[in-house]
Chains A and B, each alone.
Chain A
């Protein structure tokens, strides 16, 4: 204590660390004692306080945008909502969203859209009979064109469902798959996948 009173540098160092909240509890008590009375010591403290404040009030510049990558989460947000991210990635996204207002807003909008889509009423196939898609049947085949067949089936289904009406023939997954395999047999060039590739129809 006596040294601190007589040594302005030691005292100032203590004040500086006190202002930064970097002192141990016993040192904080020491500072309180030092500031209890002596006008000169109090002036010294105030002076350091003003210097520190002037440094902390220096304006903060924005980093030029061209230096930063587009670090937003993009399609990871949808995967995040759907619970498709593995644990570590999920936690990273959570932390980013907490800190990034843009991604937080985007996440909320995506979530609203997702809920809206999921709450759409289901199509009643039993009452109208308009879309009598055959219930999924699992097949495992070793045909070379099966992969292309699956893609073709999916595409056909999309088109069929988009333009179809009650008067048009119904689609059948089995039927389309069978027709595609038949074409692959008749046109060798149609088949591009190696024979060893095993593809499962959904």
Chain B
């Protein structure tokens, strides 16, 4: 799929919403397995994009956008850690006293299919790299920019994520 937004233009907020809304939604859905969390993230990201576009200078738009998306996502997880009673399902409250990690919060979400459920068992960095690569479709360079990690680290995370996924899946691969 070709990109309407190139690095030489500053797009409008509406352009971003229509072009990237679905990708952002799916990114969040695959990371959390939860449509409400995904919808919240889309709203939050679009809000941040709207505020940030004035100061955006043409450059790597995808890198800029996905950095915002990732930060919004992680901020959402941190908020949930501060309000755990609404973020965790019954039975997971034993984690509250020890400041649960994003992985613990995320892995508490109920899952529906095998790949999705296995995906949610991956450590966050691996899951994020795999989702940005295989669900969002970013290149390694773009993932590196979005996650503020070296390309070599991205490459390693993607592979280790897939490898762990292979071990987690119940069907033979």
The 8 Å CB contact of A63, one of B25, B116, B169, is: B25
- CB of A63 within 8 A of CB of B140, answer no
CB neighbours of A67 from chain B (8 A) = 17, 21, 25, 39, 42-43, 46
- CB of A61 within 8 A of CB of B140, answer no
B135 at the interface (CB under 8 A from A): yes
Enumerate A46-78 residues with CB–CB distance to B below 8 Å: 47-48, 50-52, 54-56, 58, 60-64, 67-71
- CB of B159 within 8 A of CB of A68, answer no
CB neighbours of B18 from chain A (8 A) = 68-69, 71, 100
The 8 Å CB contact of B42, one of A16, A52, A63, is: A63
| A13-B30 contact given A55-B130, A67-B46, A99-B2, CB 8 Å threshold | no
- CB of A61 within 8 A of CB of B158, answer no
CB neighbours of B2 from chain A (8 A) = 98-99
A20–B2 CA distance with the chains assembled, in angstroms: 18
- CB of A92 within 8 A of CB of B35, answer no
* 1/0 contact string of A30-53 vs chain B (CB within 8 Å): 000000000000000001101110
- CB of A69 within 8 A of CB of B19, answer no
- CB of B134 within 8 A of CB of A56, answer yes
Main secondary structure of the interface of B (DSSP, over half): helix
- CB of B173 within 8 A of CB of A47, answer yes
Enumerate B17-55 residues with CB–CB distance to A below 8 Å: 17-19, 21-22, 24-26, 29-30, 35, 38-39, 42-43, 46
Tell me the nearest residue of chain A to B137, going by C-beta: A56
CB neighbours of B11 from chain A (8 A) = 92
* A176 → chain B closest CB, angstroms: 43
CB neighbours of B21 from chain A (8 A) = 63, 67-68
The 8 Å CB contact of B14, one of A22, A55, A69, is: A69
- CB of A61 within 8 A of CB of B35, answer yes
* 1/0 contact string of A165-184 vs chain B (CB within 8 Å): 00000000000000000000
- CB of B139 within 8 A of CB of A22, answer yes
A88 at the interface (CB under 8 A from B): yes
Main secondary structure of the interface of A (DSSP, over half): helix
- CB of B46 within 8 A of CB of A16, answer no
> Which of B61-69, B72-80, B83-91, B160-168 sits within the interface?
B160-168
B133 at the interface (CB under 8 A from A): yes
* 1/0 contact string of A8-29 vs chain B (CB within 8 Å): 0100110111001010000000
A104 at the interface (CB under 8 A from B): no
- CB of B25 within 8 A of CB of A71, answer no
- CB of A16 within 8 A of CB of B15, answer no
- CB of A96 within 8 A of CB of B30, answer no
Tell me the nearest residue of chain B to A97, going by C-beta: B4
* B115 → chain A closest CB, angstroms: 5
* 1/0 contact string of A186-199 vs chain B (CB within 8 Å): 00000000000000
A157–B18 CA distance with the chains assembled, in angstroms: 44
Report 21 cross-chain contacts, Cβ distance below 8 Å, ordered by A residue: A9-B163, A16-B162, A17-B140, A17-B155, A20-B158, A22-B155, A51-B169, A55-B115, A58-B135, A61-B25, A62-B25, A63-B39, A64-B39, A64-B42, A68-B21, A69-B13, A95-B5, A98-B2, A99-B4, A99-B19, A100-B18
Interface set of B (CB-CB < 8 Å, partner A): 2, 4-6, 9, 11-15, 17-19, 21-22, 24-26, 29-30, 35, 38-39, 42-43, 46, 115-116, 119, 130, 133-135, 139-140, 155-156, 158-160, 162-163, 165-166, 169, 173
